Amino acid sequence: MNTATRLVPLGLAALLTLTACGSSEQAASDSGVPLVSEGQLTVCVNPPFEPFAYTDESGEVVGLDLDVVGEVAKDLGVELSTKVAAFETMQSGTDLDTGSCDVVASGMTITPEREAKLDFSEPYFDADQGLLVAAGSGITGVDGLAGKTVAVQQATTGETWAEENGLSVVQFEELGLQIKALETGQVDAVVNDIAVLGPYAAGDLEVAATFPTGEQYGIGVKTGNTALLDAVNATLDRIREDGTYDAIYTARIGTAPSTAPAEG
């Protein structure tokens, strides 16, 4: 992905039970892994980013990322607590450094710049960039974007990709605002991770192209928190081996993964 600050809509935040701990003291799971709140693994996410993190009809934040991190919580013997946060404070490591959450997971691509600010797990999802346009627009790739305006999500790898390809971009704080801008004619196209554009490709919108980038998502932990990082990686190994990951992927993406996410 998926680097602009995804601001949290107030209505969404009000639907959630947010748990945060700014104290320097840390609790621990039964396995001895330090956690910001006793008996809980707190994950920061940034919806809407379907199918990785989004709000269902009951107001609960769900998605592939929550399913995967929920398996980590299960292995630690604790409950999963979800906290909505701005993407910028997640990818910058701020939420981890201040003790707002234990892990960050919201379709976050592993990049050298982010690795300087937080520690990443093994990759758990392979991702490429995609192009969403109005149906019948005639735009089928980068060449068709000359003179067009492209919506990007600020601080994401999609924004970086669009700028590197010389596109005229408009920044938005979250995916939902990008889609709205396309639907209302404010922009000609949307660039974001291909996996999150699929749910919008119906009716008046369509996915025009996929751009292979070799990106991979990782779960972030505070720099130096090796105990939690090892626990996350152990869970990722387990769910790959016992079929849980394939089941999660199929349920959230709609097809079985062609290959397991590469390690390293």
For residue 101, which of 157, 61, 146, 149 has the smallest C-alpha distance?
61
Per-residue pLDDT of the chain (264 residues; tens, 9 = 90+): 554 333 434 344 433 433 333 443 456 666 789 999 999 999 999 999 999 999 999 999 999 999 999 999 999 999 999 999 999 899 999 999 999 999 999 999 999 999 999 999 999 999 999 999 999 999 999 999 999 999 999 888 899 999 999 999 999 988 999 999 999 999 999 999 888 998 898 889 999 999 999 999 999 999 999 999 999 999 999 999 999 999 999 999 877 886 544 443
User: What sign has the CA pseudo-torsion 256, 257, 258, 260?
Assistant: negative
For residue 25, which of 41, 42, 38, 8 has the smallest C-alpha distance?
38
What single-letter DSSP state applies at residue 51? T
- Quote the pTM value: 0.76
Inter-residue contact 104 to 66 (CB < 8 Å)? no
